[in-house]
Amino acid sequence: MPPRVISDRYELIEQFGHGGMGNVWRGFDRVLDRPVAVKVVRDDAITSVEAAEEFAKRFRREARITARIQHAGVPQVFDAVLDPDDPDDLYEQLYLVMELIDGIPLGAYIRPEHPLPVSWAVAVAAQVSTVLSHAHDVPVVHRDLKPGNILVARDGTVKVLDFGIASVLRTDVTKLTATGRPIGTSIYMSPEQVQGGRITPQSDLYSLGCVLHELLSGRPLFTGSDFQVMRQQVEAAPTPLRQLRADVPVEIEDLVRHLLLKSPDRRPADSQTVYERLLPFLPPAGQPPAPSETGPVGAPDPTGVFRHPFAPRPRRTASVITPTPTVVDANQGPVVVPEQLRDEIKDAFAHSNALLEEERFAQAAEVLGEVIGPAAQALGAESSDVLELRRQRAAIRFLGGDYRQALPEFDALADAYARTVGVTSEDARVCRTQAAHCRAELGQVTVALQQFQTILGQVRAIESDASDEAIDLRRSIGFLLLAESRLSEARSMLEPLHTDMCVVYGPDDDETREIAEALARIDYGLSEG
C-alpha cells in the first residue's frame, strides 16, 4: 500500500509519536528530497466544530512559537498549513512539517539500577537551560518540560520538543486548556501550575529541576496517582539527592533543591543562572571521558558537545547506535530491503489482512509466517521489518484466542525491542502488555498483575498517570484484582482511576461509567462482607 501523501508533497511513511491532538509521522518531502517529521491531526480527534477550532489554534500556536525560537536545540519548522478552509477535513488541510530528529528520547537514559553519570545529567540540564534561555527571551514558557519531550541527537545535542501547549507571556493569549484542568504533566508540573496560578519562566525551571533530579536518582521526584503527585508538588519536600546517591556533588544537590522550591520567586533568577551553576561540572574541551563518566552503551553522549565544540561529524564505524522508534539516520538510512523481498512482505500483509477480515485467524497468521523466515535470513532476525511481521502475527493469534502461541511470541518480541530500542520503549512496553493480557487469559493472574504493575511503573516515569496508556494499565490491574475478589485492592486502584477518567474523558464516557459500576459492585461486596 503506497504511503499517504499530504498536499501532493509530503509522504507519511511511519507513525512514531502521538499526543492529545495529533500524530507525528516520519515523512519525506518529495520536493526537497529529504526526510521530515510531519504532525497531523489524529483521525479520531475531531468530534465537533469547537474541537476543530481548538486543534487549529494549537497547531497554529505550536508552529509560530517553535519558529520564533532560533536555537539548535529546537527543531526547525519547515512548512505548515495552519488555516484550513474546511474545518470538517482538518486531516488533509492542517499539518506541521518539521526537522526530523535523529535521536533517542531522554526517558531511555533513566534507569533506576544504572543512574546516569553526573557529567551526562549535568550536560543534558545545561543544554536544556540554553534552550529555555532562548525561549524565555521570546518570551515563551514551555509548560510541559519532561523526558518525553527531550531527545538526545546522535551528536549529543539535546533537543526540546513539543511547544504545543507553550504559553506566550502576553495578556491577550487564549488559554488553551479544559476548564479546571492544569496544563502539563503532573510528575514535572510546578506547584503554581497545579494550583492554576500565574505561569512564569520559573515554572519551566521547576520542571527542569524535576528532570535533573530524576536523571541523577533514576526515579521520579514524586510517585502515586496523578492527583497524589500534584498534591506532593504543592506540599511535599523532595528527597535530597545525596540521600539517594552519595556521589552527587553538594553544589548540584543545592542547585536541584533551589530549582524545586515551592515559591517561584525563590527559584533561580533565570535559566542563564542555572547554566552558570552547572558550568563548573561540564567537561572541559578536549578532555576525554573518564571510565566513571561512561553512560548507557550505544547511547549518544550529551557531554560530547562540550568536550569537542564545533567538532566535525565522527567517522562512521561498525558500531551503530541502536535507534528508538523516533530515530532516523538521514545520511545512512535504514537497511535496504531487496525489491523482491519487499514485494513478498507487502503481499503477505495484504493477503493476511484479507483473511483477517474474514476472521480466518489461523490462516492469516500462517501467511505471515511463510515470509518471516526468508525476511529474517536476509535482513536479520531483529530488523524492524521482521519484528513488525512477527508482531502482526502475534496480534492475529491473540485476536483469534490462541493465547498459548501468542504469549511466547510477545515475550520474545518484548525482549527483542528491549535490545534494539530500549527496555522502556513504547514497542517493548506494548509487547509486554500484550504478553500480560495473554497470561491473564490463561489464568496466570499473579504473573500478569506483576507484569502490568511493572509496565505501569515505566509509563509513570515517562508520562502522566492519566495518559491513555497509564489509564489502560490501571484499568487492567483493577479488573484483575476484582476478578480475584481482592476487593479492597481493586477499589484502591479503580477509585483514583475513576477520578482521573472523569477529568480526562468525562463522567458520561462509556469506560468511565464502567469503572463507576465496578466501584459500586465492590462497595456492595464489601458491605455484604
pLDDT digits (tens, 9 = 90+) for 353-376: 888 888 788 888 998 999 998 988
Lowest mean pLDDT segment, chosen from 368-372, 423-427, 433-437, 442-446: 442-446
Percent of all residues in the chain with a pLDDT value above 90, rounded to a whole number = 33
Confidence label for 44 from pLDDT (cuts 50, 70 and 90): low
Distance CA 232, CA 221 (A): 9
pTM for the model: 0.56
Q: Write down the pLDDT at residue 76.
A: 87
Q: Write down the pLDDT at residue 166.
A: 62
Confidence label for 174 from pLDDT (cuts 50, 70 and 90): very low
Domains of the chain by residue range? 4-98, 103-175+182-287+299-307
Confidence label for 88 from pLDDT (cuts 50, 70 and 90): low
Contacting residues for 402 by C-beta, under 8 A, at least 6 apart: 361, 362, 365
Q: Which has the closest alpha carbon to 328: 146, 75, 143, 498? A: 75
Confidence label for 52 from pLDDT (cuts 50, 70 and 90): low
Confidence label for 20 from pLDDT (cuts 50, 70 and 90): low
Confidence label for 476 from pLDDT (cuts 50, 70 and 90): very high
Q: Write down the pLDDT at residue 79.
A: 87
- Sheet containing 10-18, strands listed edge to edge, beginning at the edge strand earlier in sequence: 4-6, 10-18, 22-29, 34-41, 95-98, 77-81
Beta carbons of 428 and 322 less than 8 angstroms apart: no
- What the block records as the C-alpha cell of 64 is 509560530
Contacting residues for 329 by C-beta, under 8 A, at least 6 apart: 102, 154, 323
- What the block records as the C-alpha cell of 427 is 514497542
Architecture of domain 4-98: 2-Layer Sandwich (3.30)
Greatest Cα pair distance, the chain, in angstroms, is 73
pLDDT, mean of residues 227-248: 93
Q: Write down the pLDDT at residue 308.
A: 63
pLDDT of 173 above 50: no
Q: Which fold has domain 103-175+182-287+299-307?
A: Transferase(Phosphotransferase); domain 1 (1.10.510)
Select the more confidently predicted residue: 306 or 15. 15
Select the more confidently predicted residue: 362 or 296. 362
Rounded (10°) angle between helices 468-483 and 445-462? 160
Among 120-124, 295-299, 324-328, the range with the most confident prediction by mean pLDDT is 120-124
Cite the active site residues: 144
pLDDT of 232 above 90: yes
Among 105-109, 180-184, 410-414, the range with the most confident prediction by mean pLDDT is 410-414
Beta carbons of 128 and 160 less than 8 angstroms apart: yes
Torsions phi, psi of 77, nearest 5?
Answer: -95, 120
pLDDT of 138 above 60: yes
Question: What pLDDT, in 10s, does the model give residues 246-287?
Answer: 999 999 999 999 999 998 889 999 999 999 999 999 888 767
Q: What is the CA radius of gyration of the chain?
A: 24
